[in-house]
Amino acid sequence: MTQIDYTAFEAEVRSFAETHCPADIRQMVRDSKKITRDAWSRWQKVLFDHGWGAPNWPVEHGGTGWDARQRYIFDTVLAETRCPPQYHHGLRHLGPVLIKYGSQEQRDRFMPGILDGTDWWCQGYSEPGSGSDLASLRTKAERDGDDYVVTGQKIWTSHAHEADWIYALVRTSVEDKKQKGITLLLIPLDSPGITVKQIRTIDNIHHVNEVFFESVRVPVANRIGEEGQGWTYGKYLLSHERLGGANTAPTFQLFDGVKRLTERHGGSALRRADIQLRLIEIESRMLGLKEQGRAAVGAAMRGESLGLMPSGLKVISCNIQQALCDLAIEAVGPTHAARRGTVDPDQADAEALRWISTYFLNRSRTIVGGSDEVQKNLIAGQLFKGGLDPVAPALVPGPVFDAALRAGTDGGINWAAVLGMGWPMTLVPEDQGGAGAGLEDMVAIVEGAARGTLDLNLAMHCAVTPLLLSHAPAGALHDRLLAGHMDGSAVVLTALLTDEGGLDSRDFSLEPGANPLVSGMLGGVEALPGATHLLLASADRLLAVPLDGVGIAENATLDGRPTVDLRFGGARAEVLAEGTAAARALNMAQPVGTLLSGVDAVGTMVPVIAQTVAYLQGRRQFDQPLAEFQVLRHRIADMYLTYLNSSAAVLRAMNDMAEGETAPRSLAMAKLRSSRDAKTVAHGAIQLHGGMGMTEELPTTRLNKRLLQSGFDFGDAMLHAERLAAGNL
Ligand SMILES: Cc1cc2nc3c(=O)[nH]c(=O)nc-3n(C[C@H](O)[C@H](O)[C@H](O)COP(=O)(O)OP(=O)(O)OC[C@H]3O[C@@H](n4cnc5c(N)ncnc54)[C@H](O)[C@@H]3O)c2cc1C
């Protein structure tokens, strides 16, 4: 197989987009104007002539044969170069249906016009009485010889006023279950008997219409598949429509626009700080969204089942877009909002006014294509019937994850058992007596253990401590501690003397020199039974302190994990590393700990959500299981969506780190995300357990506390947000 040079591919797409996308079309995108049919068709023709007409179709149907990463690069570069995304109704919605369910004759007839941009399609699904409950649609199609005769009305039909064709779900039977009497027809919009009427919308843009059908004759040859099977085809089409969220490039484009806007319309210092922090929050959610998009495109291209991916992508991407527009309108402020009627661009800030339209337009995101509420019904349906496992894949699936999950689930695992499984050796190179495994294996262990509800700080004891030691220069003490920490002959604790350490230090001081005196108190150091040494890790020194003679008081974290408060009555430390060597050891260890604490959080969210689902199924109120109440089902769906986005952000950060990139920015965003989201999931679980959520006996309580604690480990959300805001990551 030939290796793809993605950098060269990206350069090729960029150069093509910059030189071939007509300047007037790029200007429309820059000005956030509605892309007209003419512009969109011209752009599609340019792409088609270059062989890039249909990146999402198989090669044999005129597709490009790109892999998921190339498709992602293509979409991203188009957005970055201010070229429009491709028009969706033909390529992304109907195209896949023609490929899967259309006849050869239909493919030959309809696909070329979609490919080269000549034919323009719109979607005739919704009706005045049938929105979310689409299957109740009533526009009827009666067979008359070789034709159907269609009578009824569609509503909210985007682009109908500029389209040539409508793909419409119509009712061909009322005999059976309502889903069974639906048929999918392809109807030319210039057919006699069709009237299109504009609907005025709050964004002042003409895009939706009513479409009236009065005895419109449609040849039977224009029917997709079999009569009465339209619901199956229509749903398949909708799943592709919802996958639209997998193209995250427009969201990033929107983000850039809002960021620029907020820089110009900041207001007071407090307002600016608030806007900056909210942008960082949104950006961190976009990190996960990007990873979710990649995963979905990859799965779709491999022909795998997409499960809840389309619903997850749709809800998360649409909510992010709305949050961005919300920020934009706040930045624009009342001055411009009150001048919305202004048409003379010299008299008002035209860009600010356009944002008001964009804001209104984006309110429709969570309504169209199956509203947020409908998606949450679907998600809850899966979680309550099919469980969480099929829709919560491990970050790094495989035998390592499975073994850790089993170990965690079996319970009763202590430090001796962890040593027996060799987990502290994982990241230590083989020539230092370790297993020489990669970051992904450690992630698999930590996530598996967390899902199995194992209660140990593996991030600190199995990753940070061994990594600090293995990256310090060799020496007698170093060798003894590293080997001892792996075989149990030494038990080494670690205190990170950094902002991430989160330690309570009182009168703590370290002398300079080769054998410095340590004095004062350090509280909240993660503990292990029989600890023999403490590593003190800072950016310029790595020290080891023998613990005999140090005053040790037992304590615990928020979730009851053992910690110790250490009182150094004049203990002497030994230097393991100084200067750049110490900084290097810290830089190798601390980011891994930060990542793993995010992994621990997303791993713990899974049993918390699963246990909450089980509780709602078992507990009855008002003569029925709580699981029957939609408000509670939606809260579970929200918890799942929170988990989904968080775990994707953590996965992205892991990949950036594993690929050897210095990934401090994605790491900070992933940790910010997992910290905030851990809290959200814990709060949901406490609330949905009612009074039981407040009790110590409930197994979920310990996990809830662990989620809350994970938000503090290796720096809390605010610490990472501040780093991101400082702009040097
Ligand atoms: C800008 C725009 C463009 C559109 N483009 C098209 C298009 O091109 N083609 C097309 O066919 N349609 C299109 N639509 C229609 C769109 O798909 C529908 O608006 C959508 O399906 C919701 O239907 P409805 O408007 O009838 O709302 P309703 O179904 O009446 O819903 C009203 C509210 O109740 C909630 N709700 C409904 N049922 C449930 C339930 N079971 N549980 C919980 N909550 C529920 C909804 O989420 C919503 O908040 C478009 C709509 C808009 C606004």
Distance, CA 452 to ligand 1 centroid (Å)?
40
Q: Given the CA of residue 160, which atom of ligand 1 is nearest to it?
A: 8
**Residue 48 amino acid letter:** F
Q: Given the CA of residue 154, which atom of ligand 1 is nearest to it?
A: 11
CA–CA separation, 535 and 51 (whole Å): 60
Backbone φ, ψ for residue 297 (5° rounding): -60, -45
Contact 73, 10 (CB under 8 A): yes
Distance, CA 173 to ligand 1 centroid (Å)?
24
In this structure, the chain runs to a length of 729
Who contacts 338 (Cβ-Cβ below 8 Å, separation ≥6)?
none
Closest C-alpha to ligand 1, atom 37? 132
Pairing of strands 492-496, 533-537: parallel
Give me the helix-helix angle, 249-264 and 68-80, nearest 10°: 30
**Residue 686 amino acid letter:** I
Closest C-alpha to ligand 1, atom 23? 131
Q: For the sheet with 551-556, list strands across it.
A: 504-510, 517-526, 562-572, 551-556
Q: Low-confidence residues of the chain, pLDDT below 70?
A: 1-2, 339-348, 661-662
CA–CA separation, 478 and 467 (whole Å): 12
Distance, CA 360 to ligand 1 centroid (Å)?
16
Question: Per the structure block, which two tokens stand in for 446?
Answer: 């930590």
Distance, CA 158 to ligand 1 centroid (Å)?
13
Residues labelled as active-site residues: 241
Q: Given the CA of residue 634, which atom of ligand 1 is nearest to it?
A: 43
Closest C-alpha to ligand 1, atom 26? 131
CA–CA separation, 191 and 514 (whole Å): 90
Distance, CA 209 to ligand 1 centroid (Å)?
14
Domains, the chain: 6-86 (no CATH), 121-239 (2.40.110.10), 248-370 (1.20.140), 429-436+456-583 (2.40.110.10)
Contact 461, 424 (CB under 8 A): yes
Test site for ligand 1: of 88, 126, 375, most ligand atoms within 8 A of the Cβ: 126
Rg (alpha carbons) of the chain, rounded to whole number: 29
| pLDDT of amino acid 343 | 54
Name which of 675, 703, 683 is nearest 611 in CA terms.
703
Name which of 205, 159, 198 is nearest 357 in CA terms.
205
Test site for ligand 1: of 123, 201, 208, 367, most ligand atoms within 8 A of the Cβ: 367
Q: Given the CA of residue 130, which atom of ligand 1 is nearest to it?
A: 26
Question: Per the structure block, which two tokens stand in for 192?
Answer: 């006699």
Name which of 190, 143, 205, 197 is nearest 170 in CA terms.
143
| pLDDT of amino acid 514 | 85
Which of left, alpha, beta for 623 (phi over 0: left; psi -120 to 50: alpha)?
Answer: left
Q: What share of the chain is helix, strand, coil (3-state, %, to 5)?
A: 55, 15, 30
CA–CA separation, 122 and 118 (whole Å): 14
Question: Per the structure block, which two tokens stand in for 310?
Answer: 């389309």
Q: What is the pLDDT of residues 22-56, one digit of tens each?
A: 999 999 888 778 888 999 999 999 999 999 999 98
CA–CA separation, 2 and 488 (whole Å): 48
Test site for ligand 1: of 34, 92, 132, most ligand atoms within 8 A of the Cβ: 132
- Please classify residue 443 by burial: count the beta carbons closer than 10 Å to its beta carbon, then call 0-12 exposed, 13-18 middle and 19+ buried: buried
Distance, CA 390 to ligand 1 centroid (Å)?
28
- Site residues for ligand 1, CB cut-off 6 Å: 122-126, 131-132, 156-158, 208, 364, 367-369, 371, 373-374, 377
Closest C-alpha to ligand 1, atom 27? 131
> Whole-angstrom distance between the N-terminal and C-terminal Cα of the chain?
37
| pLDDT of amino acid 130 | 96
